[in-house]
Amino acid sequence: MRPNETKRKLASGRPALGLFVSSASPLTAETAGGLGFDWVLIDLQHGENDLGNLSGMLTALGTTPATPFVRVPENDSMHIQRALDLGAYGVVVPMVNTPADAEAVVQAVRYAPRGARSWGPIRGLLYGGPDYLVGAAEELMAFAMLETAQAIGNAREVLSVDGIDGCFVGLNDLSISLGVSNEAVAGETLAPAVEDALMAILDACRTTGKVPGVQLYGPGAINRRLRQGFRFIGAGTELRVLRDAALGILGAIER
Q: Domain locations in the chain?
A: 5-250
Q: Does the structure show a pLDDT above 90 at 181?
A: no
Mean pLDDT, rounded, of the chain: 96
Length of the chain counted residue by residue: 255
Tell whether the model's pLDDT for residue 152 goes beyond 70. yes
| Predicted TM-score (pTM) of this structure | 0.95
pLDDT above 80 for 107: yes
pLDDT digits (tens, 9 = 90+) for 71-102: 999 999 999 999 999 999 999 999 999 999 99
Give the model's pLDDT for residue 255. Answer: 84
Please indicate whether residue 46 is annotated as part of the active site: yes
Among residues of the chain, what percentage have pLDDT more than 90? 95
pLDDT, position 54: 98
pLDDT band at 187 (very low <50, low <70, confident <90, very high): confident
pLDDT of residue 182 exceeding 90, the answer is no
- Confidence grade of residue 233 (pLDDT, cut at 50, 70, 90): very high
- Average pLDDT in the 51-61 region? 98
CB-based burial label for 57 (10 Å; 0-12, 13-18, 19+): buried
| CATH of 5-250 given 1.20.140.10, 3.60.15.10, 3.20.20.60, 3.40.718.10 | 3.20.20.60
pLDDT at 188 over 90: no
pLDDT of 185 strictly over 90: no
Quickly state the pLDDT bin for 184 (edges 50, 70, 90): low
Please tell me which residue in 8, 14, 46, 243 is annotated as part of the active site.
Answer: 46
Contact indicator for 74, 95 with CB cutoff of 8 Å: yes
Pairing of strands 232-237, 211-215: parallel
Contact (Cβ atoms closer than 8 angstroms) between residue 137 and residue 195: no
pLDDT of residue 25: 98
| Burial (0-12, 13-18, 19+ Cβ within 10 Å), 70 | buried
The arithmetic mean of pLDDT across residues 43-70, rounded, is 97
Cβ atoms of 100 and 108 within 8 Å: the answer is: no
pLDDT recorded at residue 158: 98
Average pLDDT over residues 197-224: 97
Q: Could you tell me where the beta strands, DSSP code E, fall in 188-245?
A: 211-215, 232-237
In this model, does residue 161 exceed pLDDT 90?
A: yes
